[in-house]
Amino acid sequence: MEKSPQYPSRRLFGKKLTTSLGVCLLLPKLALAKTATPTQTEGPFYPDTPEQEKDTDLTHIEGHTELAEGETILVRGRVLNTDGKPIKNAEVDIWQANHHGRYSHREDPNPAPLDAHFQGWGITKTDELGHYGFKTIKPGAYPLKYLGGPGWRCRHIHFKVSCLGYKPITTQMYFEGDTLIEQDLEIAKVPKDYQHLLIADQQKDQLSGLPLFRFDVMLAKI
Ligand SMILES: [Fe+2]
């Protein structure tokens, strides 16, 4: 795989530290936190319906009595700079396929069902401590054959994150435990050592009992 200048040399992170006891330690994952979140393609399905509701609850559209189909989840995280400091007032813009793997987009050729009660798109801003959060459903995986490609896209949520003074990024969040990650051609474009930065850890929200996926995004200064 061709190395991108976005990714520092592995040697930087694999550097061994020798303690006073002579024990060699590898620098922890945290060292990678000095790197901006890897970018990913925007894909062809950025929402084309600007009039659509885009609040932080994607499972419910105002005026609808029914909720979106699928497994309700929470997606929460922080937007940080590459020193690990929170970025307040960053815009976090997400969009995703529905439970069936279909985007609510005029150009999506996937014949899987639409879900009239799924919002599919949400935009929010981070708070003082860089936190953001959405309630949504776990997106379905979708086959690439309708787009002329092989295989499947594993479950993912698209993200655009921006803030004045920082390089905006477009990326995708993946789900811990998704067996399709191994064959996904988009995450495969990110060097192996960095892929974990795009895979959200699953936890359980104590208050609601809902599955909670944690995804932090790191922006580099301009
Ligand atoms: Fe996608």
Cα 70 to ligand 1 centroid, rounded to whole Å: 17
pLDDT at 51: 75
Q: Can you give the length of the chain in residues? A: 222
pLDDT at 33: 57
Cα 18 to ligand 1 centroid, rounded to whole Å: 44
Contact indicator for 176, 200 with CB cutoff of 8 Å: yes
Cα 162 to ligand 1 centroid, rounded to whole Å: 19
Number of neighbours of residue 94 by Cβ within 10 angstroms: 24
The average pLDDT across 145-169 equals: 96
**Which is nearest to 185 in space by CA: 160, 208, 216, 151?**
151
pLDDT at 8: 60
Cα 96 to ligand 1 centroid, rounded to whole Å: 6
CA distance 31 to 53: 39
pLDDT at 70: 98
Contact indicator for 33, 103 with CB cutoff of 8 Å: no
pLDDT class for 16, splitting at 50, 70, 90?
Answer: very low
What digits encode the pLDDT tens for the residues 18-67?
333 333 344 444 455 578 999 999 999 999 987 789 999 999 999 999 99
Cα 153 to ligand 1 centroid, rounded to whole Å: 7
Looking at the whole model, is its pTM more than 0.95?
Answer: no
What digits encode the pLDDT tens for the residues 160-213?
999 999 999 999 999 999 999 999 999 999 999 999 999 999 999 999 999 999
CA distance 171 to 139: 16
List of domains in the chain: 16-219 (2.60.130.10)
Cα 139 to ligand 1 centroid, rounded to whole Å: 9
pLDDT at 56: 98
pLDDT at 15: 36
What digits encode the pLDDT tens for the residues 71-96?
999 999 999 999 999 999 999 999 99
The average pLDDT across 132-160 equals: 96
Active site residues: 103, 142, 153, 156, 158
Q: To 10 degrees, the CA torsion angle through 88, 202, 204, 46?
A: 50
